[in-house]
């Protein structure tokens, strides 16, 4: 329930993308938000107020003289207890209105009359030529200067049959943007490189050695870092998880591949990585004599002889660089976490190490963490992994100051 307790005024303007606003409303409601829909007359050509009322559970407002508001001032009353106003879809015409402070209907008037503390987010939706038009770009520049946040747009096929920039983000992407808008930008301007998931070390083309890590904690940290304003690159072992919105993902299989990608990302003095977070459950060993073909059962029942060699220690290698980024390690132990965690932090030579009990967290949606640094250790009580990830990002940000 990432939007629990939040009150969102959702404005719809004219555009075929109004159909996405229906799913967006449903998604915000499922995330715990209370959604109040306001529609322009143009929007009602594409979707009905009845549909939006059914999805939001609230009466839809379309008229600035609506008598359902006791003082006939919906442009005032609808925003006074709002946490944010989101315009999705936002047409080229409505972008013009916002840029010039027009007040010729309910939605434009309530945007101008909103308290300065209420953020305004707009999701542009228009034809590619309209998006590229110099007048539209001038208006968008003005919106940014006025502190209005743009959500998208995206590039792709458009309803008119043309292809290009101007397509409104999908409902799930808009939801992630709105959730992120409420998170403090503690890592704004920072670059974060992160590993997540298990690694898989082949025995033969169909078998291998891996572990029970689902990648959920690492993906939650990647999402939390993006919400905090960071540019995030995620190097991921094999998982069934969807890449967090706004995060660049590089998929690998083995520990050696993960090591090589991480070092390539950090190569050069201008790599610009500020923080490295090693969340992945990396295999300590790989099979040195992996077979090129599937191993068959021996007639005498004996098992094949596997020869192991040690994988590179990614975290220790990064921490030993001449100018390393701020390094955060993860330790998954099965016992004696407080003892082993501090020993591992010192051994890896990292300023911050995050410990947890592996078999109590692998594959689960919740976790409990212990943060180890030079001053001792701090416990983060059991909670959802996304909540813990946001707490961890805040802890990292506080140490970068």
The answer to whether 356 and 212 are in contact (CB under 8 A) is: no
Residue 267's contacts (CB-CB under 8 Å, 6 or more residues apart) are: none
Residue 383's contacts (CB-CB under 8 Å, 6 or more residues apart) are: 366, 367, 368, 391
Residue showing tokens 């070390």: 201
Residue 321's contacts (CB-CB under 8 Å, 6 or more residues apart) are: 266
| Alpha carbon distances (Å) from 39 to 86, 108, 243, 246, 269 | 12, 10, 33, 29, 51
The answer to whether 75 and 1 are in contact (CB under 8 A) is: no
The answer to whether 353 and 345 are in contact (CB under 8 A) is: yes
The Cα 380–Cα 377 span in angstroms is: 10
| Helix (H/G/I), strand (E/B), else coil: 328 | strand
Known catalytic residue at 103:
no
| Alpha carbon distances (Å) from 210 to 14, 292, 293 | 52, 18, 19
Catalytic annotation, pick one of 18, 90, 103, 160:
160
How long a stretch of residues is the chain? 401
Q: Which residues are catalytic?
A: 160
């Amino acid at each position: 329930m990432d939007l629990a307790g939040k009150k969102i005024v959702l404005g719809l303007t004219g555009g075929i993308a109004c159909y996405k606003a229906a799913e967006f409303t449903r998604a915000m409601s499922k995330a715990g938000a209370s959604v109040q829909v306001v529609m322009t007359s143009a929007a009602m050509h594409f979707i009905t107020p009845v549909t939006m009322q059914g999805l939001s559970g609230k009466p839809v407002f379309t008229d600035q003289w609506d008598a359902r508001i006791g003082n006939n001032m919906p442009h005032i009353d609808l925003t006074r207890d709002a946490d944010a106003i989101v315009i999705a879809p936002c047409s080229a015409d409505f972008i013009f209105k916002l840029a010039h402070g027009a007040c010729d209907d309910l939605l434009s008037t309530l945007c101008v009359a909103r308290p300065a503390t209420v953020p305004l987010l707009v999701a542009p939706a228009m034809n590619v030529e309209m998006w590229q038009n110099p007048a539209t770009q001038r208006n968008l520049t003005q919106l940014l200067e006025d502190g209005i946040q743009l959500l998208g747009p995206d590039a792709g096929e458009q309803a008119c049959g043309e292809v290009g920039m101007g397509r409104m983000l999908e409902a799930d992407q808009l939801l992630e943007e709105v959730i992120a808008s409420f998170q403090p930008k503690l890592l704004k301007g920072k670059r974060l490189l992160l590993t997540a998931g298990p690694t898989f070390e082949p025995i033969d083309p169909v078998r291998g050695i891996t572990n029970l890590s689902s990648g959920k904690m690492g993906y939650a940290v990647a999402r939390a870092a993006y919400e905090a304003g960071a540019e995030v690159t995620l190097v991921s072992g094999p998982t069934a998880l969807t890449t967090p919105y706004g995060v660049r993902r590089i998929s690998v299989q083995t520990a050696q591949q993960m090591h090589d990608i991480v070092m390539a990302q950090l190569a050069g003095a201008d790599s610009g990585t500020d923080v490295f977070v090693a969340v992945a459950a990396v295999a300590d060993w790989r099979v040195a004599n992996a077979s090129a073909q599937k191993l068959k059962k021996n007639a005498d029942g004996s098992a094949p002889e596997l020869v192991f060699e040690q994988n590179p220690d990614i975290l220790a290698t990064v921490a030993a660089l001449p100018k390393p980024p701020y390094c955060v390690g993860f330790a998954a132990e099965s016992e004696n976490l407080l003892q082993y965690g501090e020993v591992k932090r010192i051994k890896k030579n990292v300023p911050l190490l995050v410990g947890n009990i592996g078999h109590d967290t692998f594959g689960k949606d919740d976790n409990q963490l212990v943060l180890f640094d030079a001053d001792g250790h701090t416990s983060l009580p059991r909670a959802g992994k996304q909540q813990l990830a946001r707490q961890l990002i805040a802890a990292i940000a506080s140490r970068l100051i």
